[in-house]
Amino acid sequence: CNFSMKLAPEYEKAASILSSHDPPVILAKIDANDEANETLADEFDIRAFPTLKILRNGGKNIQEYKGPHEADRIVAYMKKQVAPASVEIKSVEDAASLIGENKILIVGIFQQFSGEEFDNFTALAENLRFDYKFGCTLDAKLLPKGGSSVDRPTVRLIKPFDELFVDFQFVEDASLPIVTLFDKDPSNHPFVIKFFNSPNAKAMLFLNFTGDHVDSFKSKFHDIALHNKGKGISFLIADVEASQGPLEYFGFKDDLVPLLFILKNDGQKYLKPNLEPEHIAPWLKQYTGGNLKPFIKSEPIPETNNEPVKVVVAESLHDMVFNSGKNVLLEFYAPWCGLCKKLAPILEEVAVSFENDTDVLIAKLDATENDIPSDNFEESTNILSIASNYRRRYLYGGFYLTTLASLHNLFAVGRK
């Protein structure tokens, strides 16, 4: 996996530095492709690579690592994780220091550091310490924003944008700007991470920040975001130069920019390439009204498809697989995947052995170039076996189906 190979040297460097930290922070690694680690990979629900998890209290508390992948930033991130989850604010200077270090600060204001409310706040701080900085105080007057008179336990969110502070509001929603900015400024990166982790639909406007009409794009997009606040859509403006990672991940080229892209939680995508500022409002209105057709990324349907292993693309998936009336064995692969390369000649042998059976289709689909409908497949699917009556589907991770016999046995079960 290219992503794992890219992370490896950074991870090793961070591990070396953190091993001498007091207390030591141990970075470990597991080869989830090794059959001996299959049980462990299942236990930790490993579905993609690389996956990083943070274990506390002897493994009793397990959380996803949501930090950066560069060595120095891994070190800084992990040092924060071994510090107290919530810092006591005893002075105006303490508050100013905490706010100065963090764009978002969540403060618990209490009459005493005990009781159910304080215990719940402490547990919340521990669970969300990856996402936010927490403080606690006995005196609201020490805080620069919000009311100074608090007569009951209060959670106050202090932030540098919009209304500047919020009491009694959902932290996740309130902690994102109305429009998140994805540029080269590292201080904006935590908001970008929160944006992509949000449960909302995501509207992303990719621009060349040195191009024409940038201010007009930003202004009109901000107006639309304000109009749709609280309606389940999060908004982000991205500098195309700084956001090549997401563009590459979604399979978009620079020639589509200015590009407005909406991603729903069910995986459906909506695309408006090469738009002008005045296109933003009417296109978003079409989306919220349910009048847009989802975009499906697909390679062209091959003009010839005569090899034993047939090529399936997104546009031909339903015709060749679901509506073909055949017993189908379909592999989802990535060209860079070592396991997929190992499986390729075995799949070819299976296809040759069934070549004269007109009721059988052995096929492959490049999952990096074709969108796969999420209602038909699980995220971790590598192999699909489907009976001709469509009543029986078998989904497999595919990591251990690396022998001719294992694939034959799989397909035999799928046809019964």
Distance of alpha carbon 341 from alpha carbon 363, whole angstroms = 15
Residue with the two structure tokens 């009459």 = 111
Helix, strand, or coil (residue 206): strand
Residue 316 or residue 44, greater confidence: 316
pLDDT in tens, 182-194: 998 888 888 898 8
The class of domain 2-81 in CATH terms is alpha beta
Q: For 299, which DSSP code?
A: P
Least confident of 91-95, 98-102, 204-208, 263-267: 98-102
Q: Output b/e per residue, 378-407; b: 16+ Cβ within 10 A.
A: eeebbbbbbbbeeeeeeebbbbebeeeeeb
Identify whether the C-beta of residue 318 lies closer than 8 Å to the C-beta of residue 375.
no
pLDDT in tens, 133-180: 899 999 989 988 776 777 778 888 887 665 555 444 445 555 678 899
Question: Domain ranges in the chain?
Answer: 2-81, 86-174, 180-288, 310-415
Confidence of residue 348 (pLDDT cuts 50, 70, 90): very high
180-288 belongs to which homologous superfamily? Glutaredoxin (3.40.30.10)
Q: Does 180-288 match 2-81 at the fold level? A: yes
Q: Which of 296, 298, 193, 294 is nearest to 236 (CA)?
A: 193
Q: Is 70 exceeded by the pLDDT of residue 297? A: yes
The class of domain 310-415 in CATH terms is alpha beta
pLDDT in tens, 30-72: 887 788 887 887 777 777 788 898 888 777 778 888 888 899 9
Token output for 50: 């690389």
Q: Does domain 86-174 have CATH number 3.40.50.300?
A: no
Distance of alpha carbon 3 from alpha carbon 105, whole angstroms = 32
Q: Please, what's the largest Cα pairwise distance for the chain?
A: 82
Cis peptide bond N-terminal to 50, omega within 30? yes
Distance of alpha carbon 157 from alpha carbon 173, whole angstroms = 11
Query: What does the pLDDT average to over 409-416?
Result: 50
Distance of alpha carbon 394 from alpha carbon 257, whole angstroms = 40
Least confident of 163-177, 219-233, 252-266: 163-177
Helix, strand, or coil (residue 95): helix
Percent of the chain with pLDDT over 70: 84
